[in-house]
Chain A
Amino acid sequence: MKLEEKIVRMEEISSLLENPNLNIDEGVKLYDEGVVLAKDCLAQLQEVKGKINIIKKDLEVYKEETME
């Protein structure tokens, strides 16, 4: 699942938890899912640093190289 989808799901969980008739089992299930999503999102946001590359053409083949 992409980061944006995870955040959207967290928003959904948040509104589902607002239901006053939600039983505790469903609540715990949603809460656990929210915790996992938050952890995943934060891990995704701490991913490796972005790269700055340049396209080079070598014998009609295009390839990415690190930009000096």
Chain B
Amino acid sequence: MLNNTYLSVTQINSYIKAIFDAEVMLQNICVFGEVSSYNVSGGNAYFNLKDESGMIPCVLFGANKFDAPKIGDMVLVSGSMNYYAKGGRLSFNAYSIMPYGRGLLYEKFLKLKAELEERGYFDIERKKPIPDYVKRIGVVSSDTGAVIHDIINVTTRRNDCVDIVLYPVKVQGVGAEQEISAGIDFFSNYDKVDVIIVARGGGSLEDLEPFNSEVVANAVFRCKKPLVSAVGHETDFTIIDFVADLRAPTPSAAAELVVWDKALKVEKVYSEMHKIDNKFNLCIVNNTNKVLGLVEGYERDVLRLLDKFKAKIEMSTLKLQNIDNLINNKINAVDRLDFNIRKLNPHNIAKMGYSKILKGSSVVLSINDLNHDDIVGLSLIDGTIKAKVCKEKK
């Protein structure tokens, strides 16, 4: 049933405030939790304290009296719950703040990191190499915001032939780690991508929490494709960075690392072709020189052979000349002999009026060999006659 009493906003706010102010359990108490945001304004600090299941807004008056905690620090604050009637908000009004060990999230991070390291999730040997010539990249990230656009811009600038396939996921908040893990599993079994980039922009430790989860770490560990993590800023390290095959400091850097520079490849092809051209020309020169060398060798051999033949011919000519001279000498000797023979021919002597006198068979050379009445034979040109010696010796 509707209560017919009408209350103004001020009245209801005053009532709520009175309830909280009267509740001693909420006055002068100490609360511990993790600092998840911290802003100072007008000398007061406004921040949230959180644990696994909830969060409470806090105001610290005179914040400059205390060391400002960092996001993720575990702190202990003293103060009272207060209902701020003017704004209709409940907050914890703190009058002191002090460190309370290390942040739970950070401790959880260190614990999981140690466990996974022990299980071999970070082993260098299991890291898959990033292919040199990636054709398609699977990106697990949010479909809104700057991250996917940064990746697209860098990719298309470096190589306009590379495809990008986005698997859209929540990158923070409830259910994010399951979505990220499902995206990784999807691409792990998807034949149409060569490499996976898991990316998100910078944020608080809580924002990056899904990337520090075991669920995501397991998905990366069982992933069959090379995976690059690009979570947060350069200084942020999350569990996924240790399990991934490669950690990129930012999403843009991930695209730089994965996408091969097309212009460089075109240049490389031209440079290799240029080398092939030069070396082929050298090969032609080498072979031409070899042929020329062979021709020169043959020429030299032929000339040497010709010289040899020439020398032989000259030698033979010389020998022939000698033989000729010998023959001429012989002919001359024969001529001389012939001349002498002719000169000594008895017929020629007979023609001059001389005749040979034979006494018997002996040639008569002296008158003393003849006696009166000796019969001698006289050899004349045309025959022999007998004659009788009739004249006395002188």
Given A4-B132, A54-B166, A27-B155 contact (CB < 8 Å) = no
Contacting pair B265 A3 (CB below 8 A): yes
Of chain B, the residue at the smallest CB distance from A33 is B276
CB-contact partner of A50 in B133, B159, B269, under 8 A: B159
Residues of A near B275 (CB, < 8 A) are 14
Scan residues 20-68 of chain A and give those whose CB is less than 8 A from a CB of chain B.
Answer: 20, 22-24, 27-28, 30-31, 34-35, 38, 41-42, 45, 47-55, 62, 64, 67
CA distance A54 to B142 in the complex (A): 11
Scan residues 229-281 of chain B and give those whose CB is less than 8 A from a CB of chain A.
Answer: 262, 265-266, 268-270, 272-273, 275-277, 279-280
CB of B199 to closest CB in A, whole Å: 15
Chain A residues with a Cβ under 8 A of chain B:
2-4, 7, 10-11, 13-14, 17-18, 20, 22-24, 27-28, 30-31, 34-35, 38, 41-42, 45, 47-55, 62, 64, 67
Contacting pair A14 B279 (CB below 8 A): yes
CA distance A7 to B165 in the complex (A): 27
Residues of B near A50 (CB, < 8 A) are 155-156, 159-164
Contacting pair B166 A53 (CB below 8 A): yes
Query: Interface-forming stretch among B79-87, B283-291, B306-314?
Result: B283-291
Q: Is B150 an interface residue (CB 8 A)?
A: no
Contacting pair A45 B266 (CB below 8 A): yes
Q: Is B186 an interface residue (CB 8 A)?
A: yes
CB-contact partner of B160 in A20, A22, A49, under 8 A: A49
16 extra interface residue pairs, beta carbon distance < 8 Å, beyond A34-B276, A54-B168: A10-B273, A13-B276, A24-B284, A30-B280, A31-B280, A31-B283, A34-B272, A34-B273, A38-B276, A41-B265, A45-B269, A49-B160, A50-B155, A50-B159, A53-B166, A55-B168
Given A14-B275, A17-B280, A45-B262, A52-B164 contact (CB < 8 Å) = yes
Contacting pair B168 A27 (CB below 8 A): no
CB of B24 to closest CB in A, whole Å: 54
Contacting pair B269 A42 (CB below 8 A): yes
Q: Which 9 A-B pairs have the closest CB atoms?
A: A17-B279, A27-B283, A34-B276, A10-B272, A38-B273, A31-B280, A24-B287, A41-B269, A14-B275
CA distance A11 to B275 in the complex (A): 9
Residues of A near B272 (CB, < 8 A) are 7, 10-11, 14, 34, 38
Scan residues 143-171 of chain B and give those whose CB is less than 8 A from a CB of chain A.
Answer: 143, 152, 155-156, 159-168
Contacting pair A53 B273 (CB below 8 A): no
CA distance A9 to B178 in the complex (A): 44
Contacting pair A35 B165 (CB below 8 A): no
- Binary interface profile of B, 127-142, with partner A (CB < 8 Å = 1, else 0)? 0000011000000000
Contacting pair B269 A20 (CB below 8 A): no
Of chain B, the residue at the smallest CB distance from A28 is B280
Of chain A, the residue at the smallest CB distance from B288 is A24
CB of B181 to closest CB in A, whole Å: 15
Contacting pair A49 B280 (CB below 8 A): no
Residues of A near B133 (CB, < 8 A) are 2-4
A-B contact pairs, 28 of them (CB 8 A): A10-B273, A11-B272, A13-B276, A14-B276, A18-B279, A22-B286, A24-B283, A27-B284, A31-B277, A31-B280, A34-B280, A35-B273, A38-B272, A45-B262, A45-B266, A47-B161, A50-B159, A50-B160, A50-B161, A50-B164, A51-B164, A52-B164, A52-B166, A54-B143, A54-B168, A55-B168, A64-B165, A67-B143
Of chain B, the residue at the smallest CB distance from A49 is B160
Contacting pair B164 A53 (CB below 8 A): yes
Residues of B near A28 (CB, < 8 A) are 280
